[in-house]
Structure 1
């Protein structure tokens, strides 16, 4: 192990094995190994010096988690979790073993889908046809085009687009929630009216994606949907378990 510490990718059950040829972050990619005792193991490698969020390493981190998830439940770490040494990591794993086992049981056989909803940008014709306020302001601009009238029209269009997208997003959330084990709201994202993640049975992944695409096609004049997944289940683990603590140990 290098003096840079131990890079932690995930926690898995002790009975699970690493996929053949598994490699991690760094250039060249660092060999990956298991650390721990008892009923859980941490998937780790030597931490590269001066670790930064390069695309190469972000993709290596996520690809490894996706490969691991094909063999069983995975408690994923956020990018950049580093333990000082293997002894500290073993101590942390032993102290939190019961919590980790409960989380692994809850995530077993599941994947995450993230869904973002944005106002439809090619929907002006629908907005004009369906929104009385927009039609009225548009007529005012035609009769008397000036700066203030154009500002009012632009604000009315933006408000209508956001409201229509939010209504569609709320409807979609109601439709998708019964199809998921759990739902987790995400942080506010500029331009989005909805940012939410779903914990979905792996065997239902295709059906879930189809439901989203079908809804998007039927509501394209109201909302632009962006779906990402299957993903590691970041949004459904305790926050302190998926981020570095003050001491840098999971």
Structure 2
């Protein structure tokens, strides 16, 4: 029977009572224990889709597991062909999984994104040399193409300004984190980074990020999401296939 995999925990971790996950009806969540580690699994739906209900169920299970102890979470949609495959991988990588669990124990992930904002255009024209040159060319030789190039220069200038904010945000928040990982590039953001933060420091981290948001209002938009399971810091292959 195929198993849906939520992540790896220590064998001693107690699962919350009556925990249910993906599937229709929602499937019971249980542990598959091998030595000192355990995969947290449920029956895999025959047709797994990234529906809002199943995405929410996946996240809710992982949030509950994170509250119970250290977790190496999987991304949505990780399925093992059978329990023997999982047992084999847990056995072969036992020391690696235990070391990774020790690393994230008592920690949470905070994700920070920074995006450009279309405000303060006068200051961009005044302070950004590339934009200033594009405006001067447009004034000397007015044309549709020159206006297009000016618009492109302004957008690039807005991203550069937001990038400077992103660098300042990264430097300030990294001082409060045990580690930081750059996330995948997202078109509308100049920064997509995740920070490994002690759980008891999560609120202080959010407060510091809110202060940075105020400090840079009008220059960039700063968004903070978390606390989250430590997706970016497990540093191990998923215990199955995605």
TM-score normalised over the length of structure 1: 0.89
The farther-off stretch of 221-230 and 179-188 is: 221-230
Matched residue, 1:50: 47
SS in 1 for 2:45: coil
Distance across 2 between alignment mates of 1:68 and 1:240: 19
Unaligned runs of 5+ in 2: none
Native 8 Å contact 2:97 2:236 kept in 1: no
Query: Is 1:228 aligned to 2:217, yes or no?
Result: no
Distance across 2 between alignment mates of 1:179 and 1:133: 35
The farther-off stretch of 215-224 and 64-73 is: 215-224
Distance across 1 between alignment mates of 2:166 and 2:84: 47
Native 8 Å contact 2:78 2:238 kept in 1: no
Matched residue, 2:69: 72
Aligned residues between the structures: 242
Matched residue, 2:161: 164
Distance across 1 between alignment mates of 2:129 and 2:80: 59
Matched residue, 2:170: 173
| Equivalent residue for 2:13, pick from 2, 16, 24 | 16
The C-alpha deviation readout for 1:158-186, integer Å capped at 9, x for no partner, is 12111111111111111111110111111
Native 8 Å contact 2:3 2:42 kept in 1: yes
Distance across 2 between alignment mates of 1:84 and 1:163: 47
Matched residue, 1:218: 215
**RMSD of the alignment, in Å?**
1.9
Distance across 2 between alignment mates of 1:239 and 1:75: 8
TM-score normalised over the length of structure 2: 0.92
How is 1:1-250 mapped onto 2 (pairs within 5 angstroms)? 3=1, 5-131=2-128, 134=131, 137-138=134-135, 145-241=142-238, 244-245=240-241
Native 8 Å contact 1:33 1:45 kept in 2: yes
Distance across 1 between alignment mates of 2:91 and 2:236: 18
SS in 2 for 1:7: strand
Could you list the structure 1 runs, at least 4 aligned residues long, displaced by more than 6 angstroms after superposition.
none
SS in 1 for 2:68: coil
What's the offset of the Cα at 1:57? Answer: 0.7
